[in-house]
Structure 1
Amino acid sequence: MKFKNIKIVFMGTAEFGIPTLKILNNIFNLDTIVTNYDKPSGRGQKIRFSAVKEYAITNNINLLQPKNLKDEGFVKKIQKINPDFIVVVAFRMIPKIVWKIPKYGTINLHASLLPDYRGSAPINWVIMNNEKITGVTTFFIDDKIDTGDILIQEGIKIDKKINAGELHDKLKLMGASIVEKTLKGIIENSLQRIKQSHKNKFNTAYKFDKKNLKIDWNQNCLEIYNKIRGLSPYPGAKTSLVSKSGETVNTIFYESEYFFEKHNHNNGKIIHEKGKIKITCKNGYLVIKNLKIEGKRRMDTESLLNGFKIEKYEMVK
């Protein structure tokens, strides 16, 4: 009960923040949750509540969904709450007029070891870049993106076969734990603020677009393998199957294996043998284990080959 008088406002939308929400609600006074406003999404353009909104409703916690974080009415509501902390997990840029309100400050949880991989997709990029370690960081928010003073960091080794979804699930639990340690440490005045380095060049976790989601079949097998697992299960590594007549079918690869072996084929050639789909790359072959063909559901290769004539297609691009 020691920390139940510490008033918290949480800001976030993604499922990554749910373990943190649970800790805040159990240990502190989680007064208000701020999440994105509802908007239609998907093919049916239906309104779908975020995981964070669902948590607020289920637990009967005050919920705010501002379109503009600088809106005078919203700012006044946060000022009236007068929180000890604002805790931010996977949310928008917070304006200074808001992050300056709390007594102790506004704390952000980021899914990388800052200053490396500042940006919106660190979990994906560390795998795509074949990093060996990653982790979570808490820091004080300032005027720029992911540049504030570091409070706590914890690292984890990246398994060679883990995909982005699996790493996400590990880091969200680690993140919740260090948020708890961070808030308690600030209250007890036992943490040291560490300035982030701005001198060296660090990796950036860029937003995804059509170009960086697409597989480049001129890369080597390991690079393509890392791209597939780094984008699995979302947003998915994209390519197209090309038939002998030039017909193309959009495809997403979710799981693969690779092996190095010299060959005389052009990169991107599809080889169908013994119930497997192999694709040539710079220094070997990629074996596709799980995929989604346009117009079909996601499935493993064996299931796909039961009804899909892969022999029609000779290349990927």
Structure 2
Amino acid sequence: MSEQLRIVFMGTPDFAVATLKNIVASNYKVVGVITAPDKPAGRGRKLQQSAVKKYAEENNLNVLQPTNLKDPNFLEELKALDANLQVVVAFRMLPEVVWSMPTHGTFNLHASLLPDYRGAAPINWALINGETKTGVTTFFIDEKIDTGAVILQKEIPIEADENAGALHDKLMNLGADLVTETLKNIAEGTVTTKLQLQTTDLKTAYKLNKDNTKIDWNLNTETIYNLIRGLSPYPTAWSFLKNREENPINVKFYDVEKEIKLHNEDPGAILADKKEVKVATKDGFINLKEIQLPGKRKMNIKDILNGYEFDKKAKML
């Protein structure tokens, strides 16, 4: 006989919405939804609601938006919901007073096959590192980041030309199904867990920043190609372009093709004609398909060539 679960759901972006939808569609009782406070965004700096808040309010779910997860008033509100389980998807790190509150604990959905790719950007780093498979994991939260006991995992292959956007959507849907399977096991009292391996050679999903998203054209073609697809469409790989402008400009890369080929060009050298643009690497070329120049929207390279000219000495830095 299944136990009646009273669930508090915690999440913020679209990735989390798919799971919340599945929980609601599966007729589990969601007694509260915790999401990020509204934030100013865009040129008008208007307050924007999180994707989770929008869905929750459209479905008449109780929403809380704490700025401080240790605030006594928030903790009283959370306790008053009388949840016996908390589900976390793409939210911030929880203090122990929060994750230890329900009788069944708190479990998290993570977009990797833990223990590999713990951290902030598991989807991106799996692609950047050229992995051929990845997956999703549910695990009970403990005092460290992404280290708790694993409940369930599902694995999928990574396609050779797949980018972060496409993989995000696949893992989003796979994860939503894994969460409802986890809920079923908890409700039926059949849940089992296994401890994560504690080794020193684990791969890490470091937070993405300006430094580790910049392209080094001295690397081989495959490595550069994986960086670009692993960061597309967000936050995007980037490079400085030295062309006719007085100062180098910042270029973002969305879609490229790789070409392994021996040549005598310097890494970063640009070969352009009226139809295509490619950049030399250590052992080939990156053919540009869709990029973004400063102050412009992202455009395919043919449209860019209609109004922008690459000098013979142009180079990516």
The normalised TM-score by structure 2 is 0.96
Once the two structures are superposed, the pairs formed by residues 70-81 of structure 1 within 5 Å of their partners are 70-81=70-81
Counterparts in 2 of 1:192 and 1:3: CA distance versus 1, 3 Å: closer
Matched, 1:252 2:225: no
Name stretches of at least 5 consecutive residues in structure 2 with no aligned partner: none
Q: CA deviation at 1:258?
A: 0.9
Report what 2:266 is aligned to: 266
Report what 1:169 is aligned to: 169
Q: CA deviation at 1:234?
A: 0.3
Quote the Cα distance in structure 1 between the aligned partners of 2:245 and 2:169.
43
Q: CA deviation at 1:41?
A: 2.9
Partner amino acid for 2:169? Answer: D
Once the two structures are superposed, the pairs formed by residues 174-253 of structure 1 within 5 Å of their partners are 174-244=174-244, 246-253=246-253
- Alignment length (residue pairs): 316
Partner amino acid for 1:36? Answer: A
Residues 85-106 of structure 1 deviation map (CA, whole Å, 9 limit, x = unaligned): 1100011111111111112110
Please say if residues 244 and 311 of structure 2, whose CA atoms lie closer than 8 Å, have aligned partners that are also in contact: no
Residues 107-144 of structure 1 deviation map (CA, whole Å, 9 limit, x = unaligned): 10000000000001000000000001100000000000
Report what 1:279 is aligned to: 279
Quote the Cα distance in structure 1 between the aligned partners of 2:245 and 2:281.
22
Report what 1:23 is aligned to: 22
Quote the Cα distance in structure 1 between the aligned partners of 2:221 and 2:58.
46
Report what 1:153 is aligned to: 153
Partner amino acid for 1:255? Answer: D
Residues 27-61 of structure 1 deviation map (CA, whole Å, 9 limit, x = unaligned): 20112110011122344433211111111121111
Residues 160-206 of structure 1 deviation map (CA, whole Å, 9 limit, x = unaligned): 10100000000000001010111111221222210011124201100
Quote the Cα distance in structure 1 between the aligned partners of 2:102 and 2:283.
55
Partner amino acid for 2:124? Answer: N
Partner amino acid for 1:164? Answer: A
Please say if residues 7 and 31 of structure 2, whose CA atoms lie closer than 8 Å, have aligned partners that are also in contact: yes
Higher mean alpha-carbon deviation, 226-235 vs 50-59, is at 50-59
Higher mean alpha-carbon deviation, 245-254 vs 156-165, is at 245-254
Partner amino acid for 2:154? Answer: E
Report what 1:294 is aligned to: 294
Once the two structures are superposed, the pairs formed by residues 135-154 of structure 1 within 5 Å of their partners are 135-154=135-154
The SS at the match of 1:311 is coil
Quote the Cα distance in structure 2 between the aligned partners of 1:148 and 1:303.
49
Counterparts in 2 of 1:48 and 1:313: CA distance versus 1, 3 Å: farther
Q: CA deviation at 1:4?
A: 9.3
Matched, 1:13 2:20: no
Measured on the aligned residues, the alpha-carbon RMSD in Å equals 1.5
The SS at the match of 1:304 is helix
Quote the Cα distance in structure 2 between the aligned partners of 1:106 and 1:250.
43
Please say if residues 3 and 188 of structure 2, whose CA atoms lie closer than 8 Å, have aligned partners that are also in contact: no
The normalised TM-score by structure 1 is 0.96
Quote the Cα distance in structure 1 between the aligned partners of 2:313 and 2:6.
60
Higher mean alpha-carbon deviation, 11-20 vs 107-116, is at 11-20
Counterparts in 2 of 1:265 and 1:244: CA distance versus 1, 3 Å: farther
The SS at the match of 2:9 is strand
Q: CA deviation at 1:245?
A: 6.2
Please say if residues 140 and 149 of structure 1, whose CA atoms lie closer than 8 Å, have aligned partners that are also in contact: yes
Higher mean alpha-carbon deviation, 195-204 vs 212-221, is at 195-204
Please say if residues 268 and 281 of structure 1, whose CA atoms lie closer than 8 Å, have aligned partners that are also in contact: yes
